Amino acid sequence: MFEKLQQKWKVGGLQLALILCTFAIGGSLTGYAGRKLMPLLGIESNGLWILIYIILITLIWPLAVLLISIPFGQFRFFTRYLLKIGRRMGLVKGENKANNAAGVKRIAIFASGAGSNAQKIIAHFHKNRSGIAKIALIVCNNPNAGVIAIAKKENIPVLLVERDRFFEKDAYLPPLHEAGINFIVLAGFLWKIPSLLITAYPDKIVNIHPALLPNYGGKGMYGRHVHQAVIANKEKESGITIHLVDEKYDHGRIVFQTSCSIAPNETAAGLANTIQALEYKHYPETIEKLLQ
C-alpha cells in the first residue's frame, strides 16, 4: 500500500511518512476543533447536530492539514493536494490562481521525435520578456524521443503517454489539469488527438503542417511523406500551415500560411530543410499571437 502511495504522489519514503503524519494529526485536530465549536452553536436536535458537525469538520479539515503541514515541511504538497480535490469537485478551475492573476498561459508541447520545433518554441518563450506564456509540460508517446532530453536540459516536466489510456480512457486530462495546462502545441506529435482532449481544449490546440493545406494533408501525411509527395507531383511551391486542431486530420481552422518556391531540380530532403526553416521562424511567433 505504501509503495502505491509513493508512486501515486511521486514522493520518497521519508516524505510519505511526513504526509501521513500530517493527515493523522490534521484529522485529530479537525475532530477536536469540531467538538469544541459545536456547543457554541446551541444545537440540540441529534439529526441536525450530526449534519452541522459533518459540514463543520468538512470546512475545518483543509485548514487543519495546511496548518499542520507547515512544521512538517509539507505545505506545498498539501496546497497542491487540496487544489486537486477542489478541481475534481468543480470548486477550482484547472489552472491555478497565481497564473490567472499574472495572465500567464501554461503550454504543453506534444512531440514524438527529435524535438527541434519544441526547442525553438521553448527558446522563444524563455526569451520573451512579456511573460505571456510558460512551457510547463512536454507530452511524449515515445520514451526514446530526443525531445525528452531537451525537456530534461530545460528542466521541464515530461508526461509519457500510453496508447490505451490516451485513446480509450481519460486522454490524460487529469495530469494536464493538475499541471494547469490551458494551451496545447503539437510539434511533431504523430498520434491523432482524441475527442476528449479537443472538447476539453476548444480552439486551444494548435498544429503545424509542412505543406499548404488543404493539399497534402490527412492520415499518413507527415514529415518526409509530405515532401516526397510534393516533389513527385512536380509542384512549383510548398510551405507551412499552422491551424487549430479539430477531430479530423489537418482540418481545423487555418491561422497562418506562408509559401516557398520549389526549384525544378529540388529534392525531398532539400525541400524539408527549407520547410523546417519556415517552421522555426513562424511557429513560435504565431503561437504567441494566438495567446495574445
The set of catalytic residues is 209
Taking the C-alpha atoms of residue 214 and residue 150, their distance in angstroms, rounded to an integer, is 32
C-beta of residue 226 within 8 angstroms of C-beta of residue 208: no
C-beta of residue 117 within 8 angstroms of C-beta of residue 279: yes
Residue 105 amino acid letter: K
How far CA 187 is from CA of 90, 91, 242, 276, in Å, comes to 31, 33, 11, 12
C-beta of residue 141 within 8 angstroms of C-beta of residue 161: yes
Grid-cell match 521525435, residue found: 113
Q: In what order do the strands lie in the sheet with 183-186?
A: 158-160, 133-140, 105-111, 183-186, 205-209, 237-244, 254-261
- Write out the three cell numbers for 234: 512536380
Residue 253 amino acid letter: R
**Residues 84, 81, 147, 181, CA torsion sign:** positive
Residue 89 amino acid letter: M
Beta strands per DSSP E along the chain: 105-111, 133-140, 158-160, 183-186, 205-209, 237-244, 254-261
Residue 192 has what DSSP assignment? P
Neighbour count for residue 169 (Cβ, 10 Å) = 12
Neighbour count for residue 74 (Cβ, 10 Å) = 21
